[in-house]
Structure 1
Amino acid sequence: METRQEAVTGTIGCAAAALGTLVGIAAWLPYGRKGLFGAFEGETNADVFWLGLPVMALSGAATALTVLAAVRGRWRRALGLAAATAGLAAFGYAFDVLAAPQALQDCGPPC
């Protein structure tokens, strides 16, 4: 009986991680679209794709697993996952992974 419960718990965890990843990607899409396609004079920012997408996807998965661990009462695991999420957020802010292309930042109000 316990193996079935563990299998259900594992399936729920995988589904939560997949859903969190999709939410992270959905949150990244507006920034990624501007960085890759919507730039002034054709300027693009590939860092938005190479850094932004993985950071947002991993952060979404880690956040979903943090919530799942907290709901299940696994506080140590939840704290570890929360620390991982905070580390990913710090990395994202340090490297400005959601930055628009430089031309859009410098253009001012008309853009």
Structure 2
Amino acid sequence: MENRREAIRGVAGCVVAAAGGAAGMLAWAPYARRGIFGFEGESEWDVVWFGLPVMTLGGIAAGITLFTLVQGKWRQALGAGVLLTALIGFGVVFDVLAGPPPNCDPC
């Protein structure tokens, strides 16, 4: 009976992590449109190369953090929270969701 309960928890954890990753991708989508099809055809591929992994991994880390908090595993939740904080810090420092700068030079 205990093995079955552990298996169900494992599957639930995978589902929560996958849902978090999908939520991260959905949150990233508006930035992708602005970065790939930017202002006056200016593309910013850093939004894809850096923004997509950071948002996806951030969604996964947020899902795992919530899942471990619900289970009452505080140390594991703290570790996942540290990972989530590091991803947020990386995203802010390197401005991974910045689109192309607008070109305001007079012709």
What TM-score bracket applies, with the shorter chain setting the length? Answer: over 0.9
Gaps of 5+ in 2: none
Query: 1:19 is matched with which residue?
Result: 19
Gaps of 5+ in 1: none
Query: How do 1:1-111 residues align onto structure 2 when only pairs under 5 Å count?
Result: 1-37=1-37, 39-103=38-102, 107=104
Aligned-partner Cα distance in 2 for 1:43–1:18: 32
Aligned-partner Cα distance in 2 for 1:67–1:102: 36
Aligned-partner Cα distance in 2 for 1:86–1:15: 22
Aligned-partner Cα distance in 2 for 1:19–1:56: 13
Q: TM-score, normalised by structure 2?
A: 0.94
Amino acid at match of 1:5: R
Aligned-partner Cα distance in 2 for 1:84–1:56: 13
Aligned-partner Cα distance in 2 for 1:50–1:56: 11
> What's the CA shift for 1:57?
0.2
Aligned-partner Cα distance in 2 for 1:63–1:40: 32
> What's the CA shift for 1:42?
1.1
How many residue pairs were aligned?
104
| Local SS of the residue matching 2:72 | coil
Q: TM-score, normalised by structure 1?
A: 0.90
Moved over 3 A (4+): none
Aligned-partner Cα distance in 2 for 1:96–1:75: 31
